[in-house]
Amino acid sequence: MENIILISTADLKQKGIFNSGENLVELNDFTFKKGVSFSIEDKEKIVETYKIKSQSNGKYLLVEDKFMLTIWSEVKADLSQSQDNSSQQISSQSINHPEQKNRTKTITRRYRGQTYEVVVPDLSSSEASDHKPEKKYLKYRGKYINS
């Protein structure tokens, strides 16, 4: 069980360092992301399942409470850094080229007496920017020619 760490909620709160609204925790030089929760009755099945998964997918942290068993999976440091870099690149591209951004509009819809505001892509503006002038074809002696 070297890839699976079984810990109680109280021990996790003492030993772990929580980041970003308690969805990430640092414990023993590893970063774990909060996953799904199961009832404590299925503990043996869950531990066996995650023993098999941990052999190929990395480390798992199983946090045991009175009624629930929560699965935390390891977040790779290189993966999170590359995601941060890619998100910075995307945001810088959108800042530099605002006209390439898909335009949206907010419309109001009614359903069963309730009013909802929905953000949808503005097709009229995107069609205008993507529209290419059509070529005119002329017929000369039974064949079409470009003008």
Q: pTM, whole model, 2 decimals?
A: 0.46
Closest CA to 71 of 44, 52, 50, 57: 50
CA-to-CA dists, residue 130 to 54, 102, 126, angstroms? 48, 11, 6
| Domain assignment present for 44 | yes
| Domain assignment present for 140 | no
Phi, psi (rounded to 5 degrees) for 55: -65, -30
The per-residue pLDDT for 68 is 80
Q: What does pLDDT average to over the chain?
A: 71
- Over residues 69-80, the pLDDT tens digits come to 788 777 776 544
Checking if the pLDDT of 99 tops 60, the result is no
| Domain assignment present for 125 | no
* Domain hosting residue 25, numbered range: 4-77
Alpha-helical regions (H) of the chain: 9-15, 43-57, 77-96, 123-130
Domain count, the chain: 1
Contact call for residues 65 and 76 (beta carbons, < 8 A): no
